[in-house]
Amino acid sequence: MAKEGLFAGKEFSGKYILEEEVATSPLFYVYRAKHKFLEKPVAIKIFRVDIIKSPHDIPILKEIASEVIEEIRRLGALEPHPNINWITDVDKELGGKVLYFVMDFAPEDLEDVVRRRGHLELSRAFRLTESILRALSYTHAHGITHKNLKPSNVRFKEGNLVLTDFGLGYIAQKAIRRLKLSGFLEPPIYVSPRILKGEDYVSFVEADLYSVAGLLYFMVTGHEPYEGDFAKIHADKLAGRIIPPSQYNPDIPEDVERFILKGLEILDGKGFESADEMLEALYEAFKTVYAYKPHTLMEIRDEKKKIQREIFVKEDSNINLLEVHAPSIINSSSPGSIVFKFDRGMNLEFDVKTLPEASYEIINSQSRKTYSVIVRTEPGYYGTLEVRVQIKLPDGSTYFREPLNIPMLVMPLQGQTSGVEF
């Protein structure tokens, strides 16, 4: 519940007006604020110094602050991802005594959404879990793990799921132990039992995936996978005792229950090893609930080479993608046009990624029933350019199960056109 808080009404860095405190954690006060010039809501997390109980705590707190800044810096070095609540600013206030960072305001968390409904319908639980795993696949590929996934760190911004607090919850738990803060230790509901056992090496990648399975259990049942006090949860988890999710919700298919229990390391004591592996298993488990159907797509390159390839598209979508026209070769720094042809004109949202990074623009021609993704590399770049395209549907799901990957060769050409015309 929001309260006015110590910093309510203050102005930070001449541009953020703090309105009210919306949460408190061992390391941070969290405020809803407004960007003074953009007039948009933001969340501001203020690093707490009031947890110092003695002069001996000061160097510990400085070390913890350095860890927090380093974690923020590592995540901030990546390209933004639609399912991560990016930190947009870090600064100090009140003569350097207050460290704070800023992100978009995401007012609801997963617990709010689930508690309001009792439990989520299977199709929505699938879509949310898919988004979580896509975000983790991206960060894990860059060596960044979350380490403390739980419902309060899965938030919603204008209906879009975003993960927040990468690494910070783990740092907070270490701080609790080092500073001997009472009353802040959390029950280990979403923590891998291998971490509780104190095994010498535990992959934080696998620990994140364990938490994902726990979150899915919560979504489809309305109950957390382990309930009770700290000691009971600890004992049940180490003993492998759990109430199967179908006892709470009989509509859960066997494949979905098996997926959840594997992720929680119940079936054979082993969960998933990578986000991509878990994502593939998610599609298989939910195939009777929220399926992607195979679709044969004609890919035409330079009007000469025609390739038929099978892709998986949203089964209950009314979109019919007929062809993709793409050049095999484009001239360095000249535009290359990838054209998506549909059976009718429509408004769609295209999510485009290029590797290496290249500029692009998207043109919608409803009269011609096409979308054109026009890409241009940096001058002097020669080699392969990969263009990855995903189509976002109005309900927040994706049209392709995996983004459509279109490779092109970038070379110095003389007297050739690189685009494709109808």
In angstroms, the CA 408 to CA 41 distance is 41
Angle at 17 between CA 12 and CA 23, to 5 degrees: 90
Mean pLDDT of 218-233: 94
Q: Is residue 277 part of a domain?
A: yes
Which residue, among 73, 10, 84, has the nearest Cα to 44 in the 3D structure? 10
Q: Write the CA distances from 182 to 29, 179, 360, 380, integer angstroms.
A: 17, 9, 53, 60
Q: Is residue 178 part of a domain?
A: no
User: Are 35 and 74 in the same domain?
Assistant: yes
Going by the DSSP 8-state scheme, the letter that residue 143 receives in this structure is T
Mean pLDDT of 223-248: 92
Does residue 166 or residue 416 have the better pLDDT?
A: 166
Which residue, among 252, 244, 255, has the nearest Cα to 285 in the 3D structure? 255
Can you give the length of the chain in residues?
Answer: 422
In angstroms, the CA 315 to CA 405 distance is 20
418 — pLDDT class (breaks 50, 70, 90): very low
The pLDDT value given to residue 416: 44
The pLDDT value given to residue 182: 63
What's the first-to-final CA gap in the chain, in angstroms? 58
Q: Is residue 128 part of a domain?
A: yes
Domain boundary among 223, 251, 285: 285
Backbone angles phi, psi at 157, to 5 degrees: -120, 110
User: Are 86 and 68 in the same domain?
Assistant: yes
pLDDT tens readout for residues 350-392 = 999 999 999 999 999 999 999 999 999 988 888 999 999 999 8
User: Are 305 and 247 in the same domain?
Assistant: no
Is the pLDDT at 94 greater than 80? The verdict is no
The pLDDT value given to residue 184: 63
Q: Is residue 418 part of a domain?
A: no
CATH code, domain carrying 357 = 2.60.40.1220
Per-residue DSSP letters for 331-393? ETTS-EEEEEEESS----EEEEEEES--EEEEEEETTTTEEEEEEEPPTT--EEEEEEEEEE-
Range of 402's domain?
292-411
Contacts of 299 (CB under 8 A, 6+ apart): 306, 307, 308, 309, 323, 324, 326, 406
Q: HEC states along 36-102? A: CCCCCEEEEEEECCCCCCCCCHHHHHHHHHHHHHHHHHHHHCCCCCCCECCEEEEEEECCCCEEEEE
Domain boundary among 237, 259, 285: 285
Domain boundary among 104, 135, 167: 104
User: Are 404 and 376 in the same domain?
Assistant: yes
Mean pLDDT of 237-259: 94
Is the pLDDT at 420 greater than 60? The verdict is no
User: Are 98 and 127 in the same domain?
Assistant: no
User: Are 269 and 128 in the same domain?
Assistant: yes
Q: Is residue 176 part of a domain?
A: no
User: Are 136 and 233 in the same domain?
Assistant: yes
In angstroms, the CA 142 to CA 45 distance is 25
Q: Which residues of 158-190 are buried (b: 16+ CB within 10 A; e: fewer)?
A: eeebbbbbbbbbbbbbebbeebebeebebbbbb
Mean pLDDT of 37-52: 86
Mean pLDDT of 155-175: 85
User: Are 230 and 373 in the same domain?
Assistant: no
Q: Is residue 83 part of a domain?
A: yes
> pTM here?
0.73
CATH code, domain carrying 98 = 3.30.200.20
Is the pLDDT at 64 greater than 60? The verdict is yes
395 — pLDDT class (breaks 50, 70, 90): confident
Name the β-bridge partners of 33: 18, 42
User: Are 46 and 116 in the same domain?
Assistant: no
> Any long-range contacts for 130-134 (C-beta under 8 Å, 24+ apart)?
130/279, 130/282, 130/397, 130/398, 131/83, 131/161, 132/83, 132/161, 132/163, 132/212, 132/215, 133/212, 133/275, 133/278, 133/279, 133/282, 134/81, 134/83, 134/275, 134/279
User: Are 93 and 128 in the same domain?
Assistant: no
CATH code, domain carrying 279 = 1.10.510.10
Name the β-bridge partners of 365: 370
Is the pLDDT at 394 greater than 60? The verdict is yes
Number of domains into which the chain is organized: 3
User: Are 127 and 240 in the same domain?
Assistant: yes
User: Are 114 and 99 in the same domain?
Assistant: no
200 — pLDDT class (breaks 50, 70, 90): low
Is residue 31 within 8 Å of residue 91, measured between CB atoms? no
Rg (CA), the chain: 24
Q: Is residue 169 part of a domain?
A: no
Q: Is residue 398 part of a domain?
A: yes
The pLDDT value given to residue 70: 87
The pLDDT value given to residue 2: 54
Q: pLDDT averaged over the chain?
A: 87
The pLDDT value given to residue 422: 31
In angstroms, the CA 254 to CA 234 distance is 27
